[in-house]
Amino acid sequence: MDENFAENSSIVKNVDASNFMLEVIEGSKEKPVIVDFWAPWCAPCKQLAPILEKAVLNEKDKIALVKINIDENQSIAGQLQIQSIPTVYAFYQGQVADGFQGNLPESEVNEFVKKVLNLAGPGQEVEELILSLNNSLDQMDWDSAKSLANEVLKIDNLNAKALSGLIEAELGFKRFDEAKEIVNSLDEDLKKDKNLKEVIEKIEVSEKAFLASSEIEPLKQKLQDNPNDLQVSLELAIALFGGGNIMEAYELLLSSIEKDPEWNEQAARKQLLSFFQTDGLNSEQSKIARRKLSSILFS
């Protein structure tokens, strides 16, 4: 690859002491700025430059790439304590936010650029996709939700909202093993995200309910024979929920709470609250059941 490729590119600005404040410090308040510190005599710098430019090329509207020749700008190099080159810093909101030294492999350079892009949060395209994703999830359009989640993940493979939406779609399809595979592939820190924590908690509840759904008719017969058997009522509610009869499951649990709110250490109430989380606190069915629960508990 031509060693002057990056230096001559229109997407790379050469910065010096006269415009460092404008292009890097002030510029990073609008979008992240990657600064490549180099020198003409540095062979690794010439190897890294085109790799760095290639990684930035498709994101040039969201990120800026500038080059600073340390031989000609020793004051900047001194202030930023540049001790060896190539050194690459990412500036955001006027400060150094990330960086690396040395000539990294292309895959690691690409990961670095992705991390820098995430500093500014999701772009307009991602925000619109997430909005459509949430709408599809609300409508239980699992095909559309999965497609939209994957579109976001192509742009930002660590987007927690998209990952949680993808897991939610797999649960909607009753593909519990696939949902678990996604969870197992996630970094432990990422699993701490609020959206992901909530959907991960849904997996066990949803799978248990689905497996129980085949027992609906036998359980209905048992409850008909003994309407006050709260254990059977609980088991039937779980089966109904797994079969998609959400409101019927809610009504059964609410009836049990009315009969004996303290039964089995408030088992019916705990199950109901667990279902609210799985169904979504803002679903119309959850809202109706929550109002009824409040009426029972505080009347």
How many Cα atoms sit within 13 Å of 1 on the Cβ side? 16
| Predicted local distance difference test score (pLDDT) of residue 1 | 35
What is the full per-residue pLDDT of the chain (299 aa) written as tens digits? 334 444 445 679 999 999 999 999 999 998 999 999 999 999 999 999 999 999 998 787 889 999 999 999 999 999 998 989 999 999 999 999 999 999 999 999 998 998 888 787 666 778 889 999 999 998 889 999 999 999 999 878 888 999 999 999 999 999 999 999 999 999 888 898 888 998 998 898 889 888 888 899 999 999 999 999 999 999 999 999 988 899 999 999 999 999 999 999 999 999 999 899 888 777 899 999 999 999 998 87
C-beta separation of 234 from 256 below 8 A: yes
| Predicted local distance difference test score (pLDDT) of residue 279 | 83
Q: Cβ neighbours of residue 28 under 8 Å, at least 6 residues apart? A: 64, 91, 92, 93, 94, 95
Please, what is the Cα angle at 30 between 38 and 148, to 5 degrees? Answer: 105
Active-site hit among 12, 33, 45, 64 = 45
Rg over alpha carbons for the chain, rounded to the nearest Å, is 28
Q: Does 212-298 match 124-192 at the fold level?
A: yes
- Please state the domain extents for the chain: 12-119, 124-192, 212-298
Alpha-carbon distance of 225 to 221, in angstroms, equals: 6
State the maximum Cα–Cα separation within the chain, in Å, rounded to a whole number.
90
Active-site hit among 33, 42, 232, 272 = 42
The CATH homologous superfamily for domain 124-192 is: Tetratricopeptide repeat domain (1.25.40.10)
Q: 12-119 architecture in CATH?
A: 3-Layer(aba) Sandwich (3.40)
The distance in angstroms from the start CA to the end CA of the chain is 77
Alpha-carbon distance of 83 to 48, in angstroms, equals: 17
- Can you say whether residue 244 is alpha, beta or left, with left for phi > 0 and alpha for psi between -120 and 50 degrees? left
Q: Answer yes or no: 44 catalytic.
A: no
| Predicted local distance difference test score (pLDDT) of residue 9 | 53
* Helix or strand holding residue 57 (H, E): helix 43-57
> Which DSSP letter does residue 149 get?
H
| Predicted local distance difference test score (pLDDT) of residue 125 | 78
- Give how far Cα 29 sits from Cα of 35, 152, 165, Å: 14, 25, 31
| Predicted local distance difference test score (pLDDT) of residue 286 | 93
| Predicted local distance difference test score (pLDDT) of residue 7 | 44
* CB-count exposure of residue 20 (10 Å: 0-12, 13-18, 19+): buried
Tokens matching residue 60: 């040039």
| Predicted local distance difference test score (pLDDT) of residue 299 | 72
The CATH number of the domain covering residues in 212-298: 1.25.40.10
Q: Answer yes or no: 42 catalytic.
A: yes
pTM for the model: 0.54
